[in-house]
């Protein structure tokens, strides 16, 4: 009797086929969406402090709230896509809302409306386009880590262009022009996604619809996209108008005495709200699962446990890495010699350093992971996560030395270049591999939800990143030493746990 091979344990050889055309369609759409997001990210803190007169602490606090919520809403967008919309419709809804948000940000009096639209839009766009990348490959395909690394290169191509275009326009010709250019980038992303649907091999269609290659959305789907986008925009506008009434519930007086208490209270409120949302949609989820005839098994639950562990560890990585848009952005503005040949380099342009390194190194890492898989010596994805944390801690060691040097005057920009290089290598061990790992371990019915959980942990990290200065200020700790320890210790722990987590994944890492 011939033996059968479990596809989860015996990957498809990476060199068997080239990547499908749909990968490059998603690559391009995501590139423009990230151009939009990182254009705004490069400008926000500088815009708040220089144009709107925010104090440093308040600007970083708003940045923390925004970058936290922008990765919290994917849990909602991912769940709605899994159960009702499908990934494609969710991506279009998210893209439309984010474009509207950027155009609103171009008007100072619409700041909060713009940020609200960006937050909600990202919740629909971000997890669902990431899930569709994995949907292009059969389970166990060794090309998947390489595919996510190439997809990640598209993300960072947009991130590289954004500060050069939106950042430059914002700082040199007017803040509104920077946000306007970011909005145009988002429109280009939506158009790209619309015109390349036929390349997606049927991925991302609404639940219950046959994933036929070359299939596109129907007229009724487009009507739903327009109606839902309009309804959500109206909901955000209503929430902004009603904020004076809502605010006492979000920031009650007893939380004003302690930053830590405020963070814990708001975190609890958000967790309870998300739990209520998941509970309300659970009957639909159970019905969908019954129709699939793919019940959860003990193996599925063990794989979900692995997703939970690596997602929680990722909080500590992103809490450090996301200093790039906050404290490192201000360090570039205040403590770095930015003059070159008589020209002052805008601080926001330093945000392009990391994407340049990503674009340069991502193909190298994609080839490396593929070659290791071909030679039957793959580095477990969990171990890659641990190594990424250890590398990040080294970057904060360099940052500590840079700050000491800055005490005697402005320092060379090459200090920040070195830090961003280390951060980039660490990021390539964490982010694209994490996206791939979540996709490989998820049950098909909750793929978007699990991807959203990964982004939920990023949300917690982003909020923590913006609040780090305020949290440690009463204790007079050095920020860079604290961040380095927060990366090094869990990184070593994750490396120690790798054999256990590999066993629980049952061959999928």
pLDDT in tens, 221-237: 899 999 999 999 999 88
Confidence of residue 181 (pLDDT cuts 50, 70, 90): very high
pLDDT of residue 117: 93
Q: Which residues contact 382 (CB under 8 A, 6 or more apart)?
A: 306, 310, 437, 494, 497, 498, 501, 502, 505, 509
pLDDT of residue 9: 40
Contacts of range 366-369, beta carbons closer than 8 Å, 24 or more positions apart: 366/145, 366/146, 366/149, 366/150, 366/153, 367/146, 369/145, 369/146, 369/149, 369/433
Confidence of residue 10 (pLDDT cuts 50, 70, 90): very low
pLDDT of residue 147: 82
Q: What is the DSSP letter of 2?
A: P
In sequence order, what DSSP letters do the residues of 292-327 get, joined into one string? Answer: HT----HHHHHHHHHHHHHHHHHHHHHHHHGGGGTH
Closest among 326, 319, 294, 12 to 147, alpha carbons compared = 12
Query: Which of the listed CATH numbers 1.10.1740.10, 3.30.450.70, 1.20.1250.20, 3.30.9.10 matches domain 21-505?
Result: 1.20.1250.20
pLDDT of residue 202: 81
Residue 243, pLDDT above cutoff 50: yes
Confidence of residue 288 (pLDDT cuts 50, 70, 90): low
Please give the mean pLDDT across all residues of the chain: 83
Confidence of residue 3 (pLDDT cuts 50, 70, 90): very low
Q: What does pTM read for this prediction? A: 0.74
Confidence of residue 148 (pLDDT cuts 50, 70, 90): confident
**Main-chain dihedrals φ then ψ at residue 172, nearest 5 degrees:** -105, -30
Q: For the segment 434-479, what is each residue's pLDDT rounded down to a tens digit? A: 888 888 888 777 777 787 788 788 878 888 887 787 888 778 888 8
The mean pLDDT value for 194-212 works out to: 83
Confidence of residue 259 (pLDDT cuts 50, 70, 90): low
Closest among 96, 201, 82, 85 to 131, alpha carbons compared = 82
Report yes or no: 39 and 167 within 8 Å, Cβ to Cβ: yes
pLDDT of residue 242: 81
Greatest mean pLDDT among 21-25, 125-129, 344-348, 398-402? 398-402
Residue 338, pLDDT above cutoff 90: no
pLDDT of residue 245: 79
The mean pLDDT value for 121-133 works out to: 88
Residue 292, pLDDT above cutoff 60: no
Taking the C-alpha atoms of residue 69 and residue 494, their distance in angstroms, rounded to an integer, is: 27
Longest Cα separation, the chain: 78
pLDDT of residue 289: 59
Taking the C-alpha atoms of residue 321 and residue 476, their distance in angstroms, rounded to an integer, is: 21
Q: Which residues contact 324 (CB under 8 A, 6 or more apart)?
A: 351, 354, 420, 423
Confidence of residue 285 (pLDDT cuts 50, 70, 90): low
pLDDT of residue 54: 87
Q: Which residues contact 307 (CB under 8 A, 6 or more apart)?
A: 437, 438, 441, 442, 450, 453, 454
Residue 374, pLDDT above cutoff 50: yes
pLDDT of residue 392: 96
Q: For the segment 492-503, what is each residue's pLDDT rounded down to a tens digit? A: 999 999 999 999
Picking from 33-42, 272-281, 308-317, which range would have the lowest pLDDT averaged per residue? 272-281
Q: Between 134 and 10, where is the model more confident? A: 134
Closest among 94, 374, 394 to 236, alpha carbons compared = 94
pLDDT of residue 83: 84
CA distances for 447 relative to 128, 143, 300, 307, 459, angstroms: 9, 18, 12, 11, 18
% of the chain surpassing 90 pLDDT: 23
Picking from 26-30, 46-50, 110-114, 290-294, which range would have the lowest pLDDT averaged per residue? 290-294
Closest among 220, 27, 54 to 132, alpha carbons compared = 27
Residue 90, pLDDT above cutoff 90: yes
The mean pLDDT value for 97-119 works out to: 91
pLDDT of residue 144: 76
Picking from 77-86, 280-289, 297-306, which range would have the lowest pLDDT averaged per residue? 280-289
pLDDT of residue 2: 37
Q: What is the DSSP letter of 12?
A: B
Q: Between 341 and 377, where is the model more confident? A: 341
% of the chain surpassing 70 pLDDT: 92
Residue 253, pLDDT above cutoff 50: yes
Reduce the DSSP state of residue 216 to 3 states and report it: coil
pLDDT of residue 11: 46
Q: For the segment 351-360, what is each residue's pLDDT rounded down to a tens digit? A: 778 888 988 8
Question: Which tokens belong to 434?
Answer: 């994490």
């Amino acid at each position: 009797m011939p033996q059968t091979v479990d596809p989860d344990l015996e990957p498809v050889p990476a060199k068997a086929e080239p990547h499908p055309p749909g990968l490059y369609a998603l690559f391009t759409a995501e590139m423009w969406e990230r151009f939009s997001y990182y254009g705004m990210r490069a400008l926000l803190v500088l815009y708040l402090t220089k144009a709107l007169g925010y104090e440093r602490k308040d600007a970083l606090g708003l940045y923390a709230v925004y970058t936290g919520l922008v990765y919290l809403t994917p849990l909602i967008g991912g769940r709605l896509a899994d159960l009702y919309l499908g990934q494609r419709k969710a991506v279009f809804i998210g893209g439309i809302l984010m474009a509207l948000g950027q155009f609103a940000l171009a008007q100072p009096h619409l700041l909060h409306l713009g940020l609200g639209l960006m937050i909600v839009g990202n919740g629909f766009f971000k997890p669902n386009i990431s899930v569709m990348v994995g949907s292009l490959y059969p389970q166990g395909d060794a090309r998947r880590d390489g595919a996510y690394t190439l997809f990640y290169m598209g993300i960072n191509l947009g991130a590289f262009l954004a500060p050069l275009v939106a950042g430059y326009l914002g700082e040199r010709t007017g803040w509104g022009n920077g946000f306007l250019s970011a909005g145009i980038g988002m429109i280009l992303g939506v158009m790209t996604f619309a015109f390349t649907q036929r390349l997606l091999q049927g991925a991302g269609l609404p639940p219950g619809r046959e994933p036929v290659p070359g299939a596109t959305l129907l007229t009724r789907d487009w009507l739903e996209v327009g109606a839902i986008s309009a309804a959500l925009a109206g909901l955000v506008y209503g929430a902004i108008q009603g904020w004076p009434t809502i605010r006492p519930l979000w920031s009650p007086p007893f939380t004003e005495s302690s930053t830590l208490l405020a963070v814990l209270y708001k975190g609890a409120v958000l967790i309870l709200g998300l739990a209520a949302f998941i509970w309300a949609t659970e009957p639909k989820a159970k019905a969908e699962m019954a129709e699939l005839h793919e019940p959860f098994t003990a193996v599925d639950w063990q794989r979900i446990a692995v997703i939970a562990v690596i997602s929680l560890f990722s909080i500590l990585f992103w809490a450090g890495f996301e200093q790039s848009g906050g404290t490192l952005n201000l360090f570039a503005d205040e403590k770095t010699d930015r003059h070159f040949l008589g020209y002052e380099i805008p601080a926001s342009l330093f945000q392009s350093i990391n994407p340049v390194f990503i674009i340069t190194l991502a193909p190298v890492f994609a080839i490396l992971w593929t070659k290791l898989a071909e030679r039957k010596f793959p580095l477990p994805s969990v171990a890659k996560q641990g190594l990424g944390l250890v590398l990040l801690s080294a970057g904060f060691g360099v940052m500590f030395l840079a700050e000491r040097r800055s005490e005697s005057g402005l320092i060379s920009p090459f200090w920040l270049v070195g830090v961003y290089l280390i951060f980039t290598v660490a990021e390539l061990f964490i982010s694209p591999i994490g996206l791939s790992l979540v996709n490989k371990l998820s049950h098909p019915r909750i793929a978007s939800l699990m991807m959203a959980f990964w982004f939920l942990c990023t949300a917690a990290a982003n909020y923590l990143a913006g609040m780090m200065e305020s949290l440690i200020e009463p204790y007079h700790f050095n920020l860079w030493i604290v961040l380095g320890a927060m990366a090094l210790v869990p990184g070593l722990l994750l490396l120690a746990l790798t054999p256990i987590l590999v066993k629980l994944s049952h061959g999928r890492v």
